[in-house]
């Protein structure tokens, strides 16, 4: 009786697994690790000379007048457990492209599409990036831009 019961359980388990198997699952190979993105404002006391409060003018060329804002800021990408020499991809875009101003990060012009800032950002350290916003004086008052989108993925 016990043997029959055991056989029945085994058959039903096998049948059940066959019925519910559907597609075979691919096998994931650990390890489980994590990627962190962190934005770090860079102290003005250290980099105060880079924050430019001035207005660049071109005497006699009113149509060339413009205002440029520059700021340094930091992004730290971290991977745990730590990967020696590990890197990650850092891309950026504007949330909405604002044709009234030009925004660059490390000299790379940003738009609505993601732009590669650095394909191999070292992990675990703050990397400093230079944001520059250029606005012609002809642009009327109003909010400049809605924000910069940063994207980090593992290499």
Partner 1 sequence: MKRLLIIFLFTVAASAQAKVHDGALTLSPAVITLRGASGQSTTQVVRLTNGTSQDFAFDVTAEDVIVRDGKRVMSKAGQIAGSIATTAAFSQRSGVVHAGDTMAMTVTLTLPPSTDCRAVVVLFRGTRKLMNGPLPVLANIGTLLTFAISDDVSLDAGAVAVTPPSSSANASISNVCINNGREPVVARGVVAILDSRGTLVGRAPIEPRRLLPSERAVIRAEYPSDLAPGRYAVLLTLGYEGKTVVQRGDLVVP
In the complex, minimum distance from the CB of residue 155 to partner 1, in angstroms, rounded to a whole number: 6
Under the binding rule (CB under 8 A), the answer on residue 85 touching partner 1 is yes
User: Is 74 in contact with 36 (CB distance < 8 Å)?
Assistant: no
In the complex, minimum distance from the CB of residue 15 to partner 1, in angstroms, rounded to a whole number: 22
Under the binding rule (CB under 8 A), the answer on residue 150 touching partner 1 is yes
Structure tokens of 112? 């609505």
In the complex, minimum distance from the CB of residue 60 to partner 1, in angstroms, rounded to a whole number: 19
Under the binding rule (CB under 8 A), the answer on residue 48 touching partner 1 is yes
Closest CA to 131 of 108, 101, 152, 150: 108
Taking the CA of residue 57 as centre, how many other CA atoms within 13 Å lie in the half-sphere pointing to its CB? 6
Q: Hey, CA dihedral for 125, 35, 91, 135, is it positive or negative?
A: negative
Under the binding rule (CB under 8 A), the answer on residue 110 touching partner 1 is no
- Rounded distance between C-alpha atoms, residue 60 and residue 55, angstroms: 15
**Binding site residues, partner 1, CB under 8 A:** 23-29, 31-45, 48, 51, 53, 55, 67, 69, 71, 73, 76, 78-79, 83-86, 89, 91, 95, 114, 119, 131, 135, 137, 139-142, 144, 146-155
């Amino acid at each position: 009786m016990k043997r029959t019961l055991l056989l029945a359980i085994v058959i039903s388990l096998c049948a059940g697994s066959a019925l519910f198997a559907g597609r075979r699952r691919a096998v994931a190979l650990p390890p489980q690790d994590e990627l962190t993105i962190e934005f770090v404002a860079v102290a003005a006391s250290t980099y105060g000379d880079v924050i430019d409060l001035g207005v660049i003018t071109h005497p006699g060329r009113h149509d060339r007048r413009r205002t440029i804002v520059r700021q340094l800021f930091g992004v730290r990408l971290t991977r745990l457990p730590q990967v020696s020499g590990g890197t990650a991809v850092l891309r950026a875009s504007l949330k909405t492209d604002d044709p009234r101003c030009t925004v660059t990060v490390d000299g790379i012009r940003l738009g609505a599409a993601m732009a590669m800032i650095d394909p191999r950002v070292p992990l675990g350290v703050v990397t400093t990036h230079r944001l520059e916003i250029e606005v012609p004086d002809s642009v009327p008052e109003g909010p400049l831009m809605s924000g910069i989108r940063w994207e980090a993925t593992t290499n």
